Structure 1
Amino acid sequence: MVLRGTLQRETYKEIATDFDCSESHIREISSELWQILSEELGEDVSKTNFRSTMERFQVSHSLNFAQDVVAIGNFNICGEARHPLNRPNSHPPNQETSNSKPTKTLYQDLNEMPELGDFYSRTPELHTLTGISGIGKTTLAVQLVQQIKDEFEYAVWYTLDEFPTIEKFQSNLIQLFSNSEKQDSSPTNQKRLPLIKYLQNHRCLIILDDVHNLFCSGELAGKYKPEYEDYRSLFKQIEKLSHQSCLMLIGWEQPREVTQVKSQNTALRTLQIKGLDIAAAREILRDYGLEESDNSEALIHRYQGNPLWLKSVATLIQDLGGGLTELLPNDTLLLPEDLKDVLQQQFDRLCELEKQVISLLAKESQPINRAKLLENDRIPASDLLNALQSLSRRCLIEQQANFYTISPVLRQYAIAHTV
């Protein structure tokens, strides 16, 4: 019953109600279940990551759980009371199939990779991650890296927060490759190859977090700072040349080289992260004791399922000791100071043209047609279209067909901070 309820995104309380038992009993049984699965699979399994863990495990090992099955989502649930991993025809965890070719892992440097923490129902299928601050890009990437890192000879995570020049970046990577290949370290005999050659010779996973730090503030999205301009050539080289490695970029905005590639034939993929769905967002509210409120779904919609926004507001409500109905009547929006600080960081990156467009959109409570926007007498048409494109790349505006809008949270902040 716990497995079924988890796959259906039910809370422990809902599972207990469905089967007429106490929530404490369900939690006790669940703890035992997750411990069993963790031991069998050789990794930590919990209610929050069970779906993604089994999804990956099923694909990796081609499990057929049982002949008598009930289909729920992408999973097959045993119709018999026996452990699926004990079936004679199933593959035990970590067993290599006859066609697989194990990768020899030479080196992993994931010291800069954050701890995963809570993971709320994401399906990681990505190479490039973009999205507004707090939406969960890095968390999703950490979950993915934990799953696939052993498929690469090298796995390296760099955070581009005040990162050094590309010369330093490439030198660090090349040094890593050279040392692992046990090349002679003497200057006269050293034969270091260009970085792309190592990516061609080895299967590497390189993650660059906070890639937006490569770009200028006060300019349209994706313009490189002068000292980081050479990253443009590196990204183009990795995208165009044949190799067996993966480069993952995470940030608030994409390099312009990425946005210019729309062909389905390229090996480049992008994923813009949206807010959590209702079921997953309720997991956050549950941690703050707000899940059972009648207004919880409205709160999730109001803050668009953004994990950081929800946690910030939930913390404020919890600190004040009040309920959702009392503190958030009707369509009231709260902007805690820590949330304002996060929004200010993104607004500080905007150029004056973008701020003007945000101001126009903030005055409209409903999506506004592009043709009507172009009728304004403040911004030339060409400049306005460029600003719309840039704001879209920053994930600060939403577009449906020819209509544009901004989220209620950004609207309230913009009204108070733009002219």
Structure 2
Amino acid sequence: MSTSRRRKIEEEFIEAKNNWDLEKLYVDLASAKGKALTPVEKKFLRGLLCGFSPAEIASKVYKTRSSSTVRVYLSNGLYKYIEEMLSRQAPDFIKVKNWSRVTQLLEKAGYKKVWLQIESGTLNTTFSKTKAQEIANNKSTPMQDWGEAVDTSIFYGRKKELTQVEKWILQEKVRLVVLLGMGGIGKTTFSVRLAELLKDNFDFIVWRSLRFAASPEVIFEQILEVISPESFTKGQSISRSISQLVSCLRSTRSLIILDHVDSILYSNSNIEVQEYTEVLSAKTSAIANSNINVNNLNVPSIQYLPGYEAFGELIQRLGESQHQSCLLLTSREKPQEIAALEGNTLPVRSLKLTGLNQLQTKEILELKGFATVNLEESQQIMQRYAGNPLFIKLAATAIHELFAGKIDEFLQQETVVFGGIRSCLDEQFNRLSVVEKQIMYLLAINGDFDLKKLQKNLMLRVSQRLTLEAVELLQRRSLLETDESSFSLTPVLKEYLIEKLIEENLKFSRDEAGSLLFAHTIFEKQLKNHLKVSRLNTEL
């Protein structure tokens, strides 16, 4: 290692020497390790002593929010040395459960410098006001664990929404907030930016993603290790962890963010799909002659995956109980508990994020490398993708790669849904029941419907109750646009569904009578009209 590089490492988190006896620590830890600490180990130790979490150390050292490298380094090395060193000094084995316990243990062991000394009832004059202020500032610094939170250095708009949720949490003391929206709309980035804005108002900040369906045991353990390491016992029951979390959120001011909650949700529609498949793929007369009693079927509710029900219990209890903290969830679908708890004047609220505007769309395109974007082009891109930031970015990449960066040529070819955009929409559409899909198809063809028209035009003569439940479920899945009493779809969803219908028709083209499209006259007539208007009849 070069001298300059070593000097730089030694200077990082050097402020730790103001409050800690570093030299003694280095010597004692080297004795426990069996050899001297490395410069990197000393740096990470100083970071912990300054009150930084592994995620914050990673951010300062490696310029990333991913704390995995630092966590592994600490768990496999430094924590073990500290345990060995302290266990030599105590009658019992000392366990470092998490990063926040390091400073507590080392302070009890006498490694922290004592600046305050009482002599004859007065303060030692060597204690300066500067040091007093420094310690006060360190005590007021919130503990933050950002997990795998995304970078928000580039953030588009959302000023109104951020202000609204900030008001809910800080002024109106809302204790549970759910951010809803289609995939790609920006819920994750919004949650991180919001937490960054609110961090000085909380004692603890914990951000966790459920995208890869981490178990409730793991997530609850990680949260408790941050906000209450002393009371947590590894391997304890789920119910005890939930009770401890509720208790801790009452006694502290904490902000807990759980991202991608939809990853642990599902709708059990397999039975319904199987029963309807034969009817829909058979001849039209089969619908009338079928023995299936559609009025006895239910639209499946949104449930938790087996083994993840504990998240629902936590959400329920934090929504019902009084506490001074806030739980923030992001999801494509609204958990069942929220519907009964939320209200405009209640301490549980939900906010559906919508698309970005024209100027923000133009900003994305420019950041994606388009030197000149006129207002008309950005307006068309915004309208086609309903301002969905992810879809706009994916489209911008395709324009560069397939159309030599010419936005006008991309707009002329009319294809809207492809590649990653199609995959994202497929993921949401495949979760729907047959009745939900039929409603989506009808809205794509007809533009909008009220509940009465929906009930009248559904191909399968289901009950009004089933229709209402299906529409309610589509709303909770963030797929419907509402205007007073009517429902509609965004342009990108319409295009996606029309393409699905075309594919369905081609699939059954050898047996027109058995086609899903032509099993009902409204599908045939309205689809042809829509295809003419959209210039998609050539594909058909």
Q: Same fold (TM over 0.5)?
A: yes
Aligned match for 1:196, one of 246, 250, 267: 246
Unaligned runs of 5+ in 1: 1-95
Question: Which amino acid is 2:266 matched to?
Answer: C
Report the equivalent of 1:157. 207
Alignment deviations for residues 204-261 of structure 1 (CA, whole Å, 9 cap, x no partner): 1110000011211454463222312222221111011111111000110111221223
Q: Give distance in 1, aligned partners of 2:152 and 2:493.
A: 27
Report the equivalent of 1:114. 150
Question: Which amino acid is 2:196 matched to?
Answer: Q
Report the equivalent of 2:30. none
Deviation at 1:182, TM superposition (A): 8.3
Q: Give distance in 1, aligned partners of 2:498 and 2:231.
A: 59
Paired residue total: 314
Structure possessing the higher radius of gyration over alpha carbons: 2
Question: Which amino acid is 1:375 matched to?
Answer: K
Instruction: Please report the TM-score for the alignment, with normalisation by the length of structure 2.
Output: 0.54
Report the equivalent of 1:353. 435
Report the equivalent of 2:185. 135
SS of 2:376's partner is coil
Report the equivalent of 2:363. 283
Q: Give distance in 1, aligned partners of 2:301 and 2:382.
A: 29
After TM superposition, list the pairs within 5 Å mapping 1:18-417 onto structure 2.
104-105=140-141, 107-123=143-159, 124=162, 125-126=164-165, 127-179=177-229, 181=230, 194-219=244-269, 220=300, 222-287=302-367, 288-289=369-370, 291-292=373-374, 294-319=376-401, 320-329=403-412, 332-364=414-446, 366-376=447-457, 377-380=459-462, 381-417=464-500
Deviation at 1:118, TM superposition (A): 1.9
Distance verdict in 2 for CA 1:416–1:350, change over 3 Å? same
Contact 1:235–1:257 (Cα < 8 Å) also in 2: yes
Q: Give distance in 2, aligned partners of 1:183 and 1:413.
A: 49
Distance verdict in 2 for CA 1:167–1:302, change over 3 Å? same
Q: Give distance in 1, aligned partners of 2:409 and 2:215.
A: 51
Question: Which amino acid is 1:200 matched to?
Answer: R
Q: Give distance in 1, aligned partners of 2:154 and 2:301.
A: 31
Q: Give distance in 1, aligned partners of 2:139 and 2:202.
A: 6
Distance verdict in 2 for CA 1:102–1:353, change over 3 Å? farther
Q: Give distance in 2, aligned partners of 1:298 and 1:250.
A: 29
Q: Give distance in 1, aligned partners of 2:498 and 2:443.
A: 10
Distance verdict in 2 for CA 1:201–1:313, change over 3 Å? same
SS of 1:173's partner is helix
Deviation at 1:184, TM superposition (A): 10
Distance verdict in 2 for CA 1:115–1:392, change over 3 Å? same
Contact 1:221–1:393 (Cα < 8 Å) also in 2: no
Distance verdict in 2 for CA 1:324–1:269, change over 3 Å? same
Q: Give distance in 2, aligned partners of 1:102 and 1:162.
A: 35
**C-alpha RMSD over aligned residues:** 2.9
Distance verdict in 2 for CA 1:338–1:208, change over 3 Å? same
Unaligned runs of 5+ in 2: 1-132, 166-176, 270-299, 502-515, 517-540
Question: Which amino acid is 2:412 matched to?
Answer: P
Distance verdict in 2 for CA 1:349–1:243, change over 3 Å? same
Deviation at 1:390, TM superposition (A): 0.8
Q: Give distance in 2, aligned partners of 1:393 and 1:102.
A: 43
Q: Give distance in 2, aligned partners of 1:264 and 1:404.
A: 22
Distance verdict in 2 for CA 1:411–1:315, change over 3 Å? same
Alignment deviations for residues 111-149 of structure 1 (CA, whole Å, 9 cap, x no partner): 221111421111213332110011111111111111112
SS of 1:108's partner is strand
| Identity among equivalent pairs (%) | 31
Deviation at 1:322, TM superposition (A): 5.0
Deviation at 1:262, TM superposition (A): 4.1
Question: Which amino acid is 2:451 matched to?
Answer: R
Report the equivalent of 1:39. none
Whose helix proportion is higher, 1 or 2?
2
409-418 vs 218-227, which moves further: 218-227
Distance verdict in 2 for CA 1:175–1:374, change over 3 Å? same
Instruction: Please report the TM-score for the alignment, with normalisation by the length of structure 1.
Output: 0.68
Contact 1:217–1:348 (Cα < 8 Å) also in 2: no
Deviation at 1:301, TM superposition (A): 1.6
SS of 2:427's partner is helix
Distance verdict in 2 for CA 1:104–1:293, change over 3 Å? closer
